[in-house]
Amino acid sequence: MLSETFVLNQITGLLDRGHEVDIYTQNLRDWSKVHPDVSNYRLAERTYAMEKVPKNYFWRILRGLWLIIIYFFKAPKLIVRSLNVFAYGQQSLNLWLLYTAASLLKHSQKPTYDIIHCQFGTQSYRGMAFKQLLSPTPKLLVMFRGFDISYYVKHNGPTVYKKPFEHVDYCLANCSFFRQRVIDLGWPASKIDVHFSGLDLSKYPLRLRQLSPGDSIHIATTGRLVEKKGIEYAIRAVVQVAQQYPNLTYSIIGDGPLSEHLKAVIHELNADSYIHLLGWKNETEIIQILDQCHLFVAPSVTANDGNQDAPINVLKEAMAMGLPVLSTNHGGIPELVEDGVSGYLVPERDVAGLVEKLNTLIAHPDQWSVMGQAGRSYVARHYDLDGLNDLLVQRYDALLGNRLTDLADNPVPPSSVAYSSS
């Protein structure tokens, strides 16, 4: 989870506001390869690895017996509660609650939280288990971000969240598009709000773009090299645009499983001289590259497995830096990019549409500064990190006070939060 900047920003925002946060994760990362804030805020000391439940039931029982031996005398009531099949049925019988209890006891003999905040819908099952075990009972808040309400639902069916929904107190979604998806699963509209992923605008300097005579045109894309980013469509579009505007370069920042495939496509199209796969770059390097670019492309598509994007952070970053953007009518992206104002939107997988709008942008550099300013202003109004972190605290307070319809009333923040992550 600490590799996801949008989650990290919330955690550090809460800590800056004086609150206690513990982080629970399925997999501990290599701490040498994470965001600097992980070190600055000493988040490794707040992070606890969840006990993995073995798929093999024999090994699950053996490991479970060992966990009972380790933790029973530390917290006998909690261990006994986790094994109460009469109260918790299958959750207890399959030892899920026992492994969850052991995860909690790695941190404290008697863990208590005001709020359990699951940063992804897929973690709502673990959040449900936390809530069942902890006393006093915390509030359970679940955030939906994209994969968890698109791919995960498609592959597991529309009832996949039925059980955790019985225990969830409130939901958030990172855009209206995914909010409606959650509602379509049967969750009440009155118990879910949109909460955007914020951006620290101070990190992204605004520079309005201009094209001087003789300048090459620099286009960029940032993102994982996976199907839903649609990067192959942008490559094919840029190749066609280069026939009219040979003085352009296209830089693709990121890595992923499609790296070799995209290299082959670029080579096949004889575009190696002006289309470059730059690989993974850190935040500082990305900002430096974008600062030298004129246009930004994010050609997101719905993947064949159903995976979809929300308003993606790379688009926000590009817009914050004053780059005119070209993206697609996909997922939550139209909630971020105002078509014809901060850039353009085209249908998914529409190479011809990408070509047309790239040509339009290149032919009208006098509009770049206008679009760039519009994009920066929109991001500043809707995605400012400080404002969104303040709002998150207000929502926590409203959740604790059972007054979610009145978020602005004298917010008093909770004392502690537990984050559950994938």
Alpha-carbon distance 143 to 347, whole Å?
28
Q: Which among 27-31, 159-163, 213-217 has the top mean pLDDT?
A: 159-163
Structural tokens at position 137: 């009972």
Amino acid present at 55:
K
Q: pTM for this one?
A: 0.87
Structural tokens at position 309: 């994007």
Strand order in the sheet with 325-328: 275-279, 248-253, 217-222, 295-298, 325-328, 343-346
Cβ atoms < 10 Å from Cβ of 376? 21
Alpha-carbon distance 366 to 294, whole Å?
12
Angle at 285 between CA 300 and CA 235, to 5 degrees: 35
Confidence at 5, pLDDT banded by 50, 70, 90: confident
The answer to whether 305 touches 335, Cβ cutoff 8 Å, is no
Q: How many angstroms from the chain centroid is the CA of residue 205?
A: 23
Which residue ranges does the chain devote to CATH 3.40.50.2000?
5-51+106-198+385-420, 201-382
pLDDT at 71 over 50: yes
**Each residue of 365-374: b (16+ CB within 10 Å) or e?**
beebeebbeb
Strand order in the sheet with 115-118: 47-49, 20-25, 416-420, 115-118, 139-144, 170-173, 192-194
Q: What is the pLDDT of residues 346-388, one digit of tens each?
A: 999 999 999 999 999 999 999 999 999 999 999 999 999 999 9
pLDDT at 313 over 50: yes
Beta bridge partners of 328: 346
pLDDT at 31 over 80: no
The answer to whether 226 touches 309, Cβ cutoff 8 Å, is no
Angle at 280 between CA 275 and CA 286, to 5 degrees: 80
Q: How many CA atoms does the CB half-sphere of 68 hold within 13 Å?
A: 13
64 phi and psi angles, rounded to 5 deg: -60, -40
Q: What is the pLDDT of residues 75-128, one digit of tens each?
A: 999 999 999 998 888 889 999 899 999 988 987 777 889 999 999 999 998 898
User: DSSP readout, 51-89?
Assistant: PP--SSHHHHHHHHHHHHHHHTTT-HHHHHHHT-HHHHT
CATH, domain range 5-51+106-198+385-420:
3.40.50.2000
- The 3-state DSSP class for residue 416 equals strand
State which fold the 201-382 domain adopts.
Rossmann fold (3.40.50)
The answer to whether 101 touches 74, Cβ cutoff 8 Å, is no
Structural tokens at position 211: 């094209």
Q: What is the pLDDT of residues 324-338, one digit of tens each?
A: 999 999 999 999 999
pLDDT at 38 over 90: no
